[in-house]
Amino acid sequence: MINSFLHYAESNVICVIIFAILLFHDLFSVDRQEKQIKFDHALIGFIVYFLADSVWGAISEGVIPSTKAVHVIINFFMFVLLSSVTFLWLRYVMAVQQHPDREKPLYKFLVSLPFLISTLLMGIIYLINDSLLFDEKFEVTTLFNIISVIVPGIYICTGLVNSLRRARHTEDHVEKVNYIIIGLFPFFVLTGGIIQVVFPHFPIFCFFCTFLMILFYIRSMDTQISTDPLTKLNNRGELIRFISQSSNLHIENRRTFFIMFDINDFKMINDTYGHAEGDRALTIVAGAMTETLKSQDLSSFCYRYGGDEFVVILFAYRNTEVENIISSIRSNIEKGCKAANVPYIVSIGAGFDELAKESDTVQKCMGRADDKLYKDKEMMKKSRR
């Protein structure tokens, strides 16, 4: 029994060490994004769960004396941990989806309410009649198991529904796949748990979870590398990767347009109001672009090219659609400025050109769009005189 427990505990400890390495790496990152922080919270939840699982293994193998008090404590603790891990994963899913209300105190309370209610209910039932939760052999009853899975089930299904909804409304294939995988992750974990039940003496569950979390960690790092941390748009490196594959640049029966943007008088905003306001201007513009492009039926990709410059690749049918997109972005920037009550005017210059399918290159097309951008800026300056 002791050898079996040691093998089981060693496996859990190995997984804890792997998670601790990932967590240690994240904690000392220079720029931790919200998604990364929420992912780390889930990592901590798994670490505590694996340690508690080792204690449970010690009890089941007789290494720790099996008493009623021991069984009650460990089962209640595992119940709280299971709910906590699924709650933390839902918080991570909401961060990935950029849910607008995720950090509002009332919303956070409502999300945690199922966990709080179930914990209170379990405690009340135990105080009234503990035999409803534990039999004479200290084993948990059917009622205990039912209450234990209700809250995780709520969090898992909520995350899945939200992820599938977001996947359905995004045109970006990579984002679509990410949403689906994130939503299905708890079901992958559940599969590992079922296999563990079938083979109870093999530490399958911890390795299964660790393998899945490492995959998610790698995907998260890939996303972090390709995303601008301030605007949440794709960065210049991601643009280079995208255009390096010619097959990405053409959609059947569509024309490919490159649109170049930059913020008018951006240096003045930084010099007059400070770099924090400059950052806010960038996020307003990025938000307007994201909102506009998501409301369209046209496929598009948006990038922060550098500084106050942005690039949009748009697959459209005609020039007027591009012009309408630019007009809508400007309108949404104006709305964003009013909503943020900024003490300055944010406006953008814009220029676009079509990528020809034969001898044209991305560099030439972007150069032509850039020339038109500066002509547009000059015209805007003359109109203000």
For the beta carbon of residue 6, count every other beta carbon within 10 angstroms.
14
pLDDT at 299: 87
Please tell me the distance from the alpha carbon of residue 124 to that of residue 127, in angstroms, as a whole number. 5
357 CB burial (10 A radius; 0-12, 13-18, 19+): exposed
Question: Which domain, by its residues, includes 111?
Answer: 2-226
Please tell me the distance from the alpha carbon of residue 175 to that of residue 302, in angstroms, as a whole number. 13
* Chain segment 222-266, per-residue pLDDT in tens: 776 788 888 888 888 888 888 888 778 888 888 999 999 999 999
Domain check: are 200 and 261 in the same one?
no
pLDDT at 2: 60
Domain check: are 107 and 161 in the same one?
yes
Stretches where the chain sits below pLDDT 50 are none
Last residue of one domain, picked from the residues 191, 226, 261: 226
pLDDT at 297: 83
Strand partners, 263: 348
Q: Which of 222, 150, 215, 205 is closest to 185 using CA atoms?
A: 215
Whether 231 is in a domain gets the answer no
Phi, psi of 357, rounded to the nearest 5 degrees: -85, -5
Domain check: are 28 and 144 in the same one?
yes
SS3 202: coil
Whether 184 is in a domain gets the answer yes
Whether 357 is in a domain gets the answer yes
Please tell me the distance from the alpha carbon of residue 45 to that of residue 233, in angstroms, as a whole number. 30
Three-state SS sequence of 68-126: HHHHHHHHHHHHHHHHHHHHHHHHHHHHHCCCCCCCCHHHHHHHHHHHHHHHHHHHHHH
**Contact in structure between 37 and 63 (CB atoms under 8 Å):** no
Domain check: are 154 and 10 in the same one?
yes
CATH at residue 127: 1.20.1070.10
Domain check: are 62 and 211 in the same one?
yes
Q: Which of 346, 258, 260, 371 is closest to 309 using CA atoms?
A: 260
For the beta carbon of residue 113, count every other beta carbon within 10 angstroms.
12
Q: Which residue has the tokens 């780390």?
A: 40
Q: How far is CA 198 from CA 6, 16, 54, 139, 202, in A?
A: 20, 23, 18, 18, 9
Domain check: are 174 and 41 in the same one?
yes
The total number of structural domains that make up the chain: 2
Domain check: are 241 and 303 in the same one?
yes
Domain check: are 217 and 273 in the same one?
no
E runs forming strands in the chain? 255-263, 299-306, 309-316, 348-355
Domain check: are 108 and 152 in the same one?
yes
pLDDT at 137: 82
* Chain segment 94-146, per-residue pLDDT in tens: 887 778 788 888 988 999 999 999 999 999 999 999 899 988 888 889 999 89
For the beta carbon of residue 138, count every other beta carbon within 10 angstroms.
15
Domain check: are 61 and 136 in the same one?
yes
pLDDT at 325: 95
Last residue of one domain, picked from the residues 173, 198, 226: 226
Domain check: are 136 and 61 in the same one?
yes
Please tell me the distance from the alpha carbon of residue 226 to that of residue 249, in angstroms, as a whole number. 18
Q: Is the dihedral of CA 297, 364, 241, 333 positive or negative?
A: negative
Domain check: are 81 and 177 in the same one?
yes
